[in-house]
Amino acid sequence: MRKYHALIPFVILASLLLVVALFAPAIAPLDPYAQDLSVALLPPDDTYLLGTDRYGRDVLSRVIVGSRTTLGASLALLIVISVGGTLIGAVAGYRGGKIDTALMRLSDVALAFPAMVFAIAVAGVLGGGLVSAAVAIALISWPKYARLARGLVLQMRSMPYLAAARFAGRSETEILIYHVMPNIAAPIIVTATAHLGTLIMEMAGLSFLGLGAMPPTAEWGAMMNNGRSLLQTSPWVILSPGIAIFIAVSIFNMLGDKLRDVFDTHLNE
């Protein structure tokens, strides 16, 4: 029970972040895209709580609206990677044989590349933009889920309840959907939650390098890129989105850890 209590604050914080991202345009106090050079690079004050950037745009509004871009893109990417990778791994583990060998060698190839370097190369080839960045990260991230799912399925493949499902009249695909997937879901969800923090950093990282979100899109990594030459003179421009990334990544990493504590029966309280 204590494990569940420890989980609650992080669930609340993560939910708050997601609510902010979902209703960002309504929550943002000012127009995040309105430029006014007469108020450029103002330090935080009563009107501009986190100051303004070089174009006079409200940094707080851009951080709030940027949460939608950064979190939204990372979350969508996470869903695609985790569902796709899990399906590939589950099929490989359950069917075995040549299908397993082929899929796992493919994942070995993906794992052989240094992650961020490969993402930069792919994003470079495909051109800038959030979609290119997402494709680049997806190509190197799916093996994480495929390998986890395959390992879990291999452990349960000889369980009598799968044989019982065959006697009950389930096809192999139905067994995979109704019996295998629900039983491997918990560790996959725990991994995915902790992975969200990493994805946020990777998406923001590519945007920071100019290979993700394009100007004038409000996105945390791109905002840091815009403010990097102002670190000495107007640090709020780069620090605000930086701190937002730090907070979001910390929340999802800790939520992942707490979820693991709850689901992992081998850990003592």
Residue 97 binding another protein, by CB under 8 A: no
The window from 29-37, 178-186, 206-214, 256-264 that contacts another protein (CB under 8 A) reads 178-186
Are 81 and 135 a contacting pair, CB within 8 Å? no
Min separation Cβ 185 and another protein, Å: 9
> Among residues 109 and 159, whose Cβ is nearest to another protein?
159
> Among residues 180 and 249, whose Cβ is nearest to another protein?
180
Q: Which are the contacts of 60, defined by CB distance < 8 A and separation ≥ 6?
A: 28, 29, 30, 48, 49, 50, 240
Single-letter amino acid, residue 60 = L
Q: For residues 238 and 42, what is the distance between their CA atoms, to the nearest angstrom?
A: 13
Residue from 154, 170, 243, 257 binding another protein (CB under 8 A): 170
Phi (first) and psi of residue 52, to 5 degrees: -130, 160
Compute the chain's Rg from CA coordinates: 22
> Among residues 178 and 246, whose Cβ is nearest to another protein?
178
Q: For residues 176 and 184, what is the distance between their CA atoms, to the nearest angstrom?
A: 10
Min separation Cβ 166 and another protein, Å: 7
Residue from 163, 177, 247, 267 binding another protein (CB under 8 A): 163
Q: Which are the contacts of 102, defined by CB distance < 8 A and separation ≥ 6?
A: none
Residue 36 binding another protein, by CB under 8 A: no
Residue 150 binding another protein, by CB under 8 A: no
The window from 31-39, 177-185, 207-215, 237-245 that contacts another protein (CB under 8 A) reads 177-185
Residue 95 binding another protein, by CB under 8 A: no
Min separation Cβ 148 and another protein, Å: 18
- Would you give the DSSP letter of residue 231? T
Residue from 96, 139, 166, 230 binding another protein (CB under 8 A): 166
- Would you give the DSSP letter of residue 57? -
Residue from 8, 16, 117, 164 binding another protein (CB under 8 A): 164
Residue from 4, 23, 161, 246 binding another protein (CB under 8 A): 161
- Would you give the DSSP letter of residue 228? G
Are 149 and 184 a contacting pair, CB within 8 Å? yes
Are 118 and 126 a contacting pair, CB within 8 Å? no
Residue from 47, 101, 155, 171 binding another protein (CB under 8 A): 171
Alpha helices, DSSP H only, in 157-212? 160-168, 172-175, 181-208
The window from 4-12, 165-173, 192-200, 206-214 that contacts another protein (CB under 8 A) reads 165-173
Q: Site residues (CB under 8 A) for another protein?
A: 159-161, 163-172, 179, 182-183
